Amino acid sequence: MDFVLANCTHAVSFSAKHRSLKGRTKTVRGRKHRFSVIRVSNSAAEFSGSKVASSGDKKDWQVAKSSTALELLDIERGVCIPFRKYSPETVRNKVLESRGAVLSLISRGVEIVWNLGLYWSILMYDCFVGRDEEVVPFRARQLRKLLCDLGPSFIKAGQVLANRPDIIREDYMNELCILQDDVPPFPNEVAFSIIEEELGRPLEAVFSKISSQTIAAASLGQVYRATLRDSGEDVAIKVQRPKIEPIIYQDLFLFRTLASFLNGISLQKLGCNAELIVDEFGEKLLEELDYTLEARNLEDFIENFKNDPTVKIPRVYKQLSGSRVLVMEWIDGIRCTDPQAIKDAGIDVDGFLTVGVSAALRQLLEFGLFHGDPHPGNIFAMRDGRIAYVDFGNVAVLSQLNKQILIDAVVHAVNEDYAEMANDFTRLGFLAPGTDVAPIIPALEAIWQNSAGKGLSDFNFRSVTGKFNQLVYNYPIRIPERFSLVIRSLLTQEGICFTLKPNFKFLEVAYPYVAKRLLTDPNPALRERLIQVLFKDGMFQWKRLENLIVLAKENVVKMSSNPALQKKDLQGSRQVVNKLDLKDTIKDGARLFLIDEGIRRQLLLALTEDSQLHVQELVDVYRLLEDQIDIPSMALEVARDFPSVVRDLMLAWTESVLSDR
């Protein structure tokens, strides 16, 4: 069934076979927006692939055509971003609004062409004389310095390219990674002037003191530490670089103009047009440029983790913040790259690592709102065992569908179903629709088996990513911007984990979390994934079920060792939450067994496989769970749910009778 989402920049129709959107509230970026959802009339043209929905009006068709890349992004992501700051029309209007603006654009274009052209000429000369490989480290450093000289949008482009093996070679990627942590600051007097303009008051009226040196400097802004005069609270002040907005709009216009000439090459190499890559970049860049959006990101993260005592998100002072200045709570933590300081603070390293990996996976698989830049300066260990995040200008947004596909990919990896893993890549936007995945299947199998086949002890995320980079280079695979952020984030956090514990094993922490989530998450969709994991080729995997339970219990034990998870009761003593909450899983399992004939048949067959009763396996599973389940309270929960089960059973029986007729 096709629908059109209104309130988008341009209406986009897409298939909603697996999603009911009738009058439902749609969550975007952790906030709820009302979307008016209407049925596509017969007179409306359908948007499919590269076809654009048209009302027949020539002008409207031209506008829709120019924004096809953005529409593709909305369809691919499964979310429609309302009131987006970026569109090709907005950028064009900004840079062509007056004769002076056009002259400034031409001047900027000449500056860029001259500098990049000179660098390109040097590369061509290296190739001509046959020394191109031996001077790569030097040329990579030259490129990094050149991007810094060209300004914020080029620095940001370099940061993006540092995570795009589908676009740039690995040795250049490694050099550009420096741009993520080492950007020159701008003068204090300029920064303080901007802060006063945004506040509308002198600094002395708001802050009793402010640091004379920047705490951190990035591509779009820099951070100071200050103390509020009224409350005495310490805060972090993030201030934007001066006069960067006009330059960024000019650069985006020039980038997209160049991309329009490269669409043919991009389609051949990456399976998408180059304008789509620029639109992804431009949309993310303009979001980061508006600090009011970062303030909303902060509020969303606070809401997501409000019931998680292991994660600290700083609160934002919105009354002191604006589009160019952001004032937030100061985080007094320990840098995650200082293992000795963490140990001296009495923090259990293993427990803290479990908290960190679990927090990252919750963002990715549960919330769909993911911190996109968790470098060592943005993650801290609190003295009570919590993990703290700062700097929320760069976040990845994943739709509910994207999250489910990622979980499907994990399930397919566990089941060694590499054909479905390849299809998952298409569903996530890595491959263009209709791409033949047959050549990719053996490569995926080789990557996974070589990385995980030797066991958890030899697996690390960086090795898988390195092999995946080779796959991206050899096949028409595009890494969507949001997944580029996810990959960079996971790699960065794994690197931090290696700093704290050199023999850290990513899967030894991640698998227990995934196992616990499959067994305990209240989302019914995960029950389907659990069933897929437990059945392989029609055979019930008893050993796999036992392993899931053992891993889930391991996650609970590791998490409960963290002081932040030790809750106080009314008497002030501490009670550690160290059991799996299996109520929903058991209730749903009982409901499925009674109502779903196919599941009931599979489970009964599982108990009698190979012409024998698998009583011992049942006993082994019960022994693993007996210390996790409160039988009386579980029986009470099942009894409370019994009337609704009977109702669903009657409805299922009635439906089957009517369908037979």
**Residue in this structure with the two tokens 């191109």, named with its chain if needed:** 132
- The verdict on residue 164 lying in a domain is yes
Q: Mean pLDDT, to the nearest integer, of 512-534?
A: 75
- SS3 for 183? coil
Predicted confidence (pLDDT) per residue in 21-77, tens digit: 333 333 434 444 333 232 223 323 333 333 333 333 433 433 334 456 666 666 666
Cα(87)–Cα(66) distance, integer angstroms: 9
**Residue at 557: amino acid letter:** V
Q: Mean pLDDT, to the nearest integer, of 212-228?
A: 90
- The verdict on residue 125 lying in a domain is yes
Cα(587)–Cα(162) distance, integer angstroms: 47
Cβ within 8 Å of residue 431, ≥6 positions away: 271, 422, 425, 437, 440, 476, 477, 478
Nearest to 512, CA basis, from 459, 588, 456, 563: 456
Cα(130)–Cα(132) distance, integer angstroms: 6
Cα(558)–Cα(360) distance, integer angstroms: 16
Selected residue with higher pLDDT from 466 and 384: 384
- SS3 for 207? strand
Cα(498)–Cα(487) distance, integer angstroms: 16
Tally of helices (H runs) and strands (E runs) in the chain: 27, 20
Identify the weakest region by mean pLDDT among 234-238, 309-313, 454-458, 502-506: 454-458
CB 339 within 8 A of CB 349: yes
CB 386 within 8 A of CB 312: yes
Q: Check pLDDT > 90 for residue 237.
A: yes
Cα(440)–Cα(540) distance, integer angstroms: 29
Opening angle at CA 105, ends 102 and 109, nearest 5: 140
- The verdict on residue 306 lying in a domain is no
Opening angle at CA 654, ends 653 and 657, nearest 5: 85
Q: Which residues are catalytic?
A: 373
Task: Please tell me the predicted confidence (pLDDT) of residue 458.
Answer: 57
Predicted confidence (pLDDT) per residue in 394-440, tens digit: 888 888 888 888 888 877 877 778 888 888 888 888 887 888 888 88
Q: Mean pLDDT, to the nearest integer, of 307-312?
A: 89
Cα(520)–Cα(514) distance, integer angstroms: 10
Cβ within 8 Å of residue 404, ≥6 positions away: 525
- The verdict on residue 155 lying in a domain is yes
Cα(162)–Cα(178) distance, integer angstroms: 9
Identify the weakest region by mean pLDDT among 258-272, 421-435, 574-588: 574-588
Identify the domain containing residue 139 by its residue range.
Answer: 90-184+246-286
Task: Please tell me the predicted confidence (pLDDT) of residue 343.
Answer: 86
Q: Check pLDDT > 60 for residue 14.
A: no
- What are the CA-CA distances from residue 68 to residues 120, 226, 577 (Å)? 31, 45, 51
Task: Please tell me the predicted confidence (pLDDT) of residue 18.
Answer: 35
Cα(469)–Cα(481) distance, integer angstroms: 15
Of all residues in the chain, what percent carry a pLDDT higher than 70? Answer: 69
Q: Mean pLDDT, to the nearest integer, of 2-10?
A: 36
Identify the weakest region by mean pLDDT among 56-70, 72-86, 266-280: 56-70
The average confidence (pLDDT) of the chain is 76
Q: Check pLDDT > 80 for residue 251.
A: yes
Identify the weakest region by mean pLDDT among 7-11, 314-318, 350-354, 431-435: 7-11
* Domain count across the chain: 1
Cα(464)–Cα(421) distance, integer angstroms: 15
Predicted confidence (pLDDT) per residue in 118-149, tens digit: 999 999 988 888 887 888 888 888 998 999 88
Task: Please tell me the predicted confidence (pLDDT) of residue 181.
Answer: 65
> DSSP assignment of 148-170, as one string?
HHH-HHHHHHHHHHTT-TTTS-H
Q: Check pLDDT > 50 for residue 270.
A: yes
Highest mean pLDDT among 21-25, 186-190, 332-336: 186-190
CB 210 within 8 A of CB 224: yes
Task: Please tell me the predicted confidence (pLDDT) of residue 224.
Answer: 95
Cβ within 8 Å of residue 657, ≥6 positions away: none
- What are the CA-CA distances from residue 461 to residues 26, 346, 489, 607 (Å)? 33, 28, 11, 37
- The verdict on residue 499 lying in a domain is no
Q: Mean pLDDT, to the nearest integer, of 550-571?
A: 63
Q: Check pLDDT > 70 for residue 600.
A: no
3-state SS of the chain: helix, strand, coil percent to 5?
60, 10, 30
Cα(636)–Cα(120) distance, integer angstroms: 73
- SS3 for 128? helix
- The verdict on residue 256 lying in a domain is yes
Nearest to 89, CA basis, from 289, 253, 276: 253
Residue 370 tokens read as 């993911």
Predicted confidence (pLDDT) per residue in 459-499, tens digit: 666 777 777 777 776 777 877 877 877 887 887 788 888 88
> DSSP assignment of 532-599, as one string?
HHHEETTEE-HHHHHHHHHHHHHHHHHHHTSGGGEEE-TTS-EEE--S---HHHHHHHHHHHHH-HHH
- The verdict on residue 250 lying in a domain is yes
**Burial classification of residue 37, based on how many CB atoms lie within 10 Å of its CB (0-12 exposed, 13-18 middle, 19 or more buried):** middle
- The verdict on residue 268 lying in a domain is yes
Cα(360)–Cα(488) distance, integer angstroms: 12
Q: Mean pLDDT, to the nearest integer, of 629-648?
A: 69
